[in-house]
Amino acid sequence: MAEPLILHVDGFYLSPYVFSAYVCLKEKGLPFEVREVNLHERAQKTPAFASLSTTSRVPVLEHGAFHVSESSAIVEYLEDTFRPPQHVATLPAAPRDRARARQIMAWVRSDLMPVREERGTNTFLHAQPYQPLSPAGRAAADKLVSAASDFVPDGRTTIFDAFSIADADLAMMLMRLIGTGESVPPKLAAFAAVQWQRPSVRSWVERKRAAYVPY
């Protein structure tokens, strides 16, 4: 009997990091259970959850007796454990392409803080109000558009020859702008639109969400 997979997610389904792990599981066609962690109630601080995550953060993946946190680590673990060709690849096989995918995934997790703060995922997933971008927010948005324009090849709607989690992660970042009415170049709008219609992504976007409570 296969070991069960459990993904611990934020209760409002807002975290782009949870999104990345969730999409990976869906793309691979793996059956898994979702367990919600209500961050606004500080459920991540409970001893039970802290013992799983160590850092009291979501997402956390349980695979039988094994557990691991941090979305990039979860994606790598799933790719190494449920390998092609038996399972769909969610990272490129070629070393240089995989390095580029890791670069993009690390970048959207660690940079562009003004965009992440001023255009939280709650603004377009929960239709929450937002203010015009500050000068710092505009500079970060311009940086996002410039770099994404370099990463996405002309005439393509994936970064590499086939879909990877880097596509979903970059599309999620771009949706912070697109989903709040900001203009992006047609190439990036087309890229994000295609990624946003993937069944794995729609499964996340269309999750039934509780009424948002700021935290």
Q: Are 16 and 121 in contact (CB under 8 A)?
A: yes
User: What pLDDT is recorded for position 214?
Assistant: 83
Edge-to-edge strand ranges of the sheet holding 5-10: 33-37, 5-10, 60-63, 66-69
DSSP class per residue in 19-53: HHHHHHHHHTT---EEEEE-GGGTGGGSHHHHHHH
* Straight-line distance from the first to the last Cα atom of the chain, in angstroms, rounded to the nearest whole number: 40
Confidence of residue 58 (pLDDT cuts 50, 70, 90): very high
Which residues partner with 69 through β-bridges?
A: 60
User: What pLDDT is recorded for position 155?
Assistant: 94
User: What pLDDT is recorded for position 213?
Assistant: 84
List, in sequence order, every beta strand (DSSP E) within 52-136: 60-63, 66-69
The pLDDT of residue 50 is above 90: no
Q: What is the pLDDT of residues 128-179, one digit of tens each?
A: 999 999 999 999 999 999 999 999 999 999 999 999 999 999 999 999 999 9
The domains of the chain, with CATH numbers, are 5-88+201-205 (3.40.30.10), 95-198 (1.20.1050.10)
Confidence of residue 1 (pLDDT cuts 50, 70, 90): low
User: What pLDDT is recorded for position 63?
Assistant: 97
Which CA distances in Å does 128 have to 38, 91, 179, 211?
18, 33, 11, 11
Instruction: Centre a 10 Å sphere on the Cβ of residue 51 and count the other Cβ atoms it contains.
Output: 10
The pLDDT of residue 215 is above 80: no
Q: How many CA atoms are closer than 13 Å to the CA of 101, on its beta-carbon side?
A: 25
Which CA distances in Å does 118 have to 104, 114, 115, 136, 176?
21, 6, 5, 10, 9
d(CA 76, CA 173): 20
